[in-house]
Amino acid sequence: MKNKIHPCPQCGQTFEDVFEAVDHLLEDDEEFDPALILPNGYRLMVGSLLKCMYKHSNEPELIEKITQDTFMTLFMAETEPDVIVDVIEDMIVGTSMAGIDDELKHLLEDGE
């Protein structure tokens, strides 16, 4: 079980994780998703990346894939900025297919 962080100093509410705490502190129409600007203006959405890794922290194989994909994206953005779009598209398709495979496996297991 993950630890709860300190309560909100304004209302005393506690949170499961720091991401919920930050969302609580923002106005309703605000979002906090810091980004790293890559060559050619691409953005690595660091906040979303960290949320994703935290969400899947109990799935080491997925964390390994996310980590390697991110590292390759950074490398390609630095060394081959003209082909970065193709690399990102391949990673997105691969991630989507993995998600579909997981959902299909889950549906098949539930049907047994």
Predicted local distance difference test score (pLDDT) of residue 64: 92
3-state helix, strand, coil in the chain (%, to 5): 60, 5, 35
Handedness of CA 55, 61, 66, 67 (dihedral sign): positive
- What does pTM read for this prediction? 0.69
Separation of alpha carbons 97 and 69, rounded Å: 15
Model confidence at 94, pLDDT cuts 50, 70, 90, reads low
Cβ-Cβ contacts under 8 Å for 91 (sequence gap 6 or more): 69, 72, 73
C-beta of residue 68 within 8 angstroms of C-beta of residue 95: no
Q: What is the pLDDT of residue 67?
A: 92
Whether 39 shows a pLDDT value over 90: the answer reads no
